[in-house]
Structures are given as structure tokens and as C-alpha cells.
Structure 1
């Protein structure tokens, strides 16, 4: 854990083991650093305390492995690696990016319980660790358009997906959008500096998705190669504001999504937010914790001069595996 006063004029005296009694979210290396940082921290201490109180809500999942994946990871009883190893999927296939550091390799549903029941997935399956990517897209669509998107309401959807990282190596899971948006042809443009240069311009078509376990379910009778509902992924290296003109030569976006964006942490977001303000395309951002979302809210509203249309809220399809070694000890 890093001392919250790091960067002040005085050097840290050691490890940050002194926790703020007020919020319980930040740590200091010494009493003197805690006292000197109070003029900064007092503005956020109460807010962080309120967010800490939400930890039970954020860790409330219906999955049988939830306690191991959240509380025990945060309390250092488990690590992401040991948890995945127990499941026999550590550094295997599509799971390879689920522990840090990243390995470089080439009816409206309202809850995860509803989603699992509809798809016939058992609650002891850790597939939720991967499927949170496509179902978060589904949630963003509902928030942006306020209705369930089907072939009856639209036959085509273009999404600009900003700042992908792990998603680049787990692209196959986006085939789940076949099930979520049947009959809709979806184009997803992945844009960000993490896209390798040798993948710039690459196109990937996903023509199938994982079917449920029921022998007689109607999902097994659907054509998996139906071009009318093809999911097309396209990869673009660089910042969105630099690539936008090129990206929109063929399609204008219907929706922009930026998961785990870190808007307040990276200055490169400022010209992108300016661009989004100008083009007036519905945009949904997410981040790892409420505080990051609040800071992003301040950043976005200061650039655009208007409040958010969609308020900060909990993602019902968030990933049920805690983030380790974050800068603050806030529920994620």
C-alpha cells in the first residue's frame, strides 16, 4: 500500500502501515505524514468513509465462489492467482490475462442471477469473470437507449470501445452478444494505446456463442453462422481523438463505451472528452471504484459544462473478483 502523502516535500519513512481512522481507505508511512496530508485528505475523508460502507453491497454476488474472490483476496487470504489455480484455469487459454501482469498474446436483464438463469449457466461456474465484458456492453446499451435492443428495433449497431486491455486477449467472449442481441449485426471498434501496432486494422468475426447445457433448448437450433447477427470486432491502435476521423469513414458510432477508464488519472482523456462533447454520441464510462467515478464526473462536467445524463451507479454485471494492490483500500 502506498503512503497517501507520497510526493510531499519529505520522504516516506517506510511502509504505509498507518491507516486513517476516519475513512479506513488511505494509509500513511508515519504520523507526521498523516498530519501534513490532512489539509488535502479532509476534503475526501467523509466521502471515502461512505464508500467504504458499501463493501458488503459491492461484494454481494450469487456465485458460490464470491467470498474467495472478493473478501479473501482483499484480506490477502487468497490471491487472484491462487483462486484461479484452485479452479484449474490459472494461466490457461482465455484466462491467461486474469492475473497481473498481463501476458502479451495475440426481455431486459437486470441482474446476474437473471442472466445466469436465462442462459442456463450454473452459479458455481466462474465464467462470470469473463462474461462481464459483453454483459456490461448490454447494460450500457440499456442505459444509453432506455429500451431493449432487438432485431425489431434495429438491425445494426456500431460501438466504439475505448481503452481495451485484457479484452484484446479475450475477444472470443464477445460472441455472447449473439445471445444478448439476437438478429442485430454488431460492429465493435476497439480503440486504444494498448492495441498492439501489429494488430492495427485487424478484423475478427464472431459467428457463434456458447450454448446452454439443456439438451432440448431452442438456442441449439439457431444457426451459428447467420450473417445477419454477426459480431465484427475491429482493432485500432492509438488514442480515440487521433483515430476518430478514420474510424468514421464507413460508420458513425451509435454508442461509445469506455470500461475502467481512469478518466481523472490520464490527461489523454481530455481531448477525447472534448471530441465526444462535439459529436454528441451517447457515451458510458465505468471505473473500478465509486471514488474514481466521482472524480471522472468532476472531470467530464468541467470539460463539457453540463452534468452527467446517467448518474453514477453500480454495474449489476461487474466482475466478481476483487482488484489487488490498488492505490486506495476502497471497495471495487
Structure 2
């Protein structure tokens, strides 16, 4: 019916019955691994034998000619000569990144991992799992106001475990069991134990997003920005940048209210790929009858539900076009600064806000590219990337390389360029005199001359 409505605008009519009755079976799948290719000429593996670089073992080439061309590429910072030693270090992270407690770890971290077959074998082909599949894509349904949002928007209407067999469902209890001796720092294994999940459950593929935020709030921000006292805050406003995928699986972020029940969260999802109907719209998530529901704030209180809720707002636009108060925290998942020109405008916007901003990337190579873009856009840099304990356990297979890629594998924060007044403030904080006390002893001669002239003028006025 959707297709019939669209083609009718073109003056095309569809037959009332299909020409043949054929459809994909529920367990239909295909290999999700794309054929490997040469990094330079893009020749496929079935066209020529591909060998990795002898030194770094990361990049694939089909011939010595392609290897030399890549080595001598100009400008220098895009050549393999520049990146080879760096990639050699990146490859040393393979074992660390593949360290997970799950029963499917060996399969999911293999260089031949086939995610489509994995999902299909477990019949994970509905609900939020659709966003992880290359095969199944939902129709782009329109939102008809917040009153019908929870029943019409595909991802918001379905439970994350919808149509999942009981053995692979990950319906979570409403709250965590109290373990006073357990610190805020968690690992995947500890989290699964506290939530009563079996280590065979692939829920980590979706829960990597809220748990990464939890890790940033409880471990990284107190370390990098202790002056914020974030662990004592009772409310947090978080901006999630380029959040089109995260917005589609929005209910998984309810886990934040379970892990940090004392915090009232306000999440703003920003990105020009969000549905246009979601721009400037507000709604709330709350638990009702054991299920997380989404409703307009105007209607959220009409029905009986838990008092706890998460306020949500959408912006279908680039981040640099968003106006409003400074957020407590900015987060971006698998950001890819070098993949969109939008970042050249959004990063300066973050620089002006000077809000704590954390981003994740799939690899250290991507982090290095992000550092270059950050310097180009603002003159700032990024912190040293850290391995994210709540990264996705599913390996992403590269086409022209053998590097280990995992969603949300590394976390870093932006280091903004110092403001003009920062050096003066640091000098005063170190024990220097206040502004009214005049310049320090080592002030420039020009400053001293101005002071002497002013004193001479004052003396002349007194004599007159």
C-alpha cells in the first residue's frame, strides 16, 4: 500500500495481485562480509591475491606496484609511509579489543565474522535488531503527533526484544539489586550478573550505547573534569550528536535511569538525519506495567506510571544550528569527524560552549583522523583514546584492511584551544596579584612606560 501510494503520484498503477507469490523466509540470510579489496586500485580478492603490508600487517595490496604507490602518496600525511608505524601499533590492540566474557566471543571477534548469519541463526530479525541488519530495513513511517507516536513509530512501538525467542530475550528487571560494596565501575561481566543476563545473550550489541554513557559519567568525567562534581548532580542534560541510529533505538537509554536512579536525565538527540517531524519535539520515557513507554509530556501524567522518567528532545539539524543553554555533557557515538563536513562547523560550536564533550570511535586510526580534524577546525586537540570497557563485542570487518574495528571501541574527549584570558586566570590562580594590583615584575617595558606617564600627569595636575 505504501508503494502504491507513492507510484500513483507518478501516474503509475499497480496490479491488484502480485505476479508471483514469493517472499523471503524468516530465516533467510546472506553473507554480510563484503569481498576484500586492494587499498589502492580496489581490485577484489577474486581478481587478484591480496597480501597485507609486511611491516604493519594492516593494509591489503594486490601488487608491489600498489604498495609503492601508496607509500609515496602525497601529501605525506595520507601516505602509508606516514601511517605504517602507527598502524603497526594499532594492530597490537587486537587481543585487548577481542577480550569479552561472552560465550559467542570467539565467533563475534573472528576476522571472518558474519553478523547476518549470527542474527539469523538466533532469529533476531525484528524490533531493535532491525537496525543491526543489512538485510531488513523498515519503512520510513511518518509521525502523526505525539499522541500516536508510541503506536506508529516502528522502533518506539516495538520492545527491544520483540519477536525474539525466550532463550535470547533480554527483558530486564526494573531495577538493579542493591550491592553496597560494588563500586560504580562495572564491566560487561559484572553488569550481566547484576541484571540477571546469561552470557549467551547478545544484548550487549544494543546496550553498548547507554552503558558507554554510564562509563563516561561515572569514570571519565570525574577524572578529567573534577570541578563539575558530576557524581553529586541530581539532574543531567546530555546532548547526543549525530544520533540518527541512537534515536531509533531510544528505549535502550532507559537503562541510564536504572543504573543511576538518583539522576533525572534530559537527553537531546541532534542530527540532520533524524526524522524531520522530530525537530524541536519533546516527549518523555517512563515505565508503565513493567514496560518502557514513550509519550508527550502533556499526556505522560494522565495514565498511571512510575514517577521516574527521562525527558527527550529531538533536533533534526546539524549541531552548530542548535541554540539553547549549555549542556552538562556532549556525547557522540562512532563520530567520524573526517566523514562529514558538518564537523568543521560543529566543533567550533563546541569550542564556544566549552562543554565537556566525549566521543567514541571504531578504531585508533579513526581517533587519529579526528585529532587532525579537531586541530583544523578549532586549533584544539583530543585526549589520549581509551579502550571502552562497554564497546560492542561484534567485530566490524574492513574491506581493504585487517585492523580491528568495533563499535564504540575507543573513547576520548575534546581538549579545547586555550581562551585568551585563560593564561591570565591561571597566573592569578597560581598566586599572582589581582588585576587592580598592576602588572607583574616581568611586565613588558611598554606597560611600565604607560604607568610612569600616568603618574607624571597626575603629579602635574596636583602641582597646578
TM-score bin (small chain): 0.7 to 0.9
Q: 1:188 aligns with which of 263, 267, 290?
A: 267
- 1:79 maps to what in 2? 114
Match of 2:449 in 1: none
- Counterpart CA distance in 1 for 2:289 and 2:101 is 21
Find the counterpart in structure 2 of residue 140 from structure 1.
Answer: 216
Report the 3-state secondary structure (helix = DSSP H, G, I; strand = E; otherwise coil) of the residue aligned with 1:43.
Answer: helix
CA distance in 1, matches of 2:49, 2:276: 39
Cα distance, 1:241 vs structure 2 = 0.3
Using the TM superposition, give the Cα deviation of residue 94 of structure 1 relative to its aligned residue in structure 2, in angstroms: 1.4
Extract unaligned runs of 5+ from structure 1. 212-223
- 1:119 equivalent among 188, 195, 203: 195
Q: Which residue of 13, 19, 23 maps to 2:52?
A: 19
Superposition RMSD on alpha carbons, in Å?
2.6
Please name the residue that 2:184 is paired with. 108
Q: Distance in 2 between matches of 1:240 and 1:102?
A: 29
Deviates more, 1:282-291 or 1:25-34: 25-34
Pairwise CA distance, 1:12: 5.9
Residue 84 of structure 2 corresponds to residue 45 of structure 1: yes
Distance (Å, rounded) in 1 between the aligned partners of 2:105 and 2:349 = 39
User: Higher RCO, 1 or 2 (CA under 8 Å, sep at least 6)?
Assistant: 1
Q: What residue is the counterpart of 2:417 in the other structure?
A: none
CA 1:297 to 1:34, structure 2 compared with 1: closer, same or farther past 3 Å?
same
**C-alpha distance in 2, partners of 1:323/1:132?**
15
Q: 1:283 aligns with which of 344, 357, 362?
A: 357
2:97 is aligned with 1:97: no
Residue matched to 1:173: 252
2:170 maps to what in 1?
none
- In the superposition, relative to structure 1, how do residues 102 and 171 fare at CA in structure 2: closer, same or farther (>3 Å)? farther
Are the counterparts in 1 of residues 131 and 137 from structure 2 also a CA contact under 8 Å?
yes
2:384 aligned residue:
311
Pairs aligned (count)? 302
Q: Label 1:299 to 1:17 Cα distance change in 2 as closer, same or farther (>3 A).
A: same
- CA distance in 1 between counterparts of 2:400 and 2:221 reads 31
Where structure 2 has 5 or more consecutive residues not aligned to the other structure, the ranges are 1-35, 73-78, 141-152, 154-182, 291-303, 406-464
Aligned to 1:32: 65
Listed as ranges, the matches of 1:163-242 within 5 Å are 163-208=242-287, 225-227=305-307, 229-242=308-321
Instruction: Tell me if structure 2 keeps the 8 A contact 1:192–1:237.
Output: yes
User: Given that residues 102 and 166 in structure 1 are in contact (C-alpha distance below 8 angstroms), is that contact kept between their aligned partners in structure 2?
Assistant: no
Which residue in the other structure is 1:261 paired with?
335
- Please name the residue that 2:456 is paired with: none
Q: Which runs of 4 or more aligned residues in structure 1 lie more than 6 Å from their structure 2 counterparts after TM superposition?
A: none
Instruction: Specify the SS of the correspondent of 2:396.
Output: coil
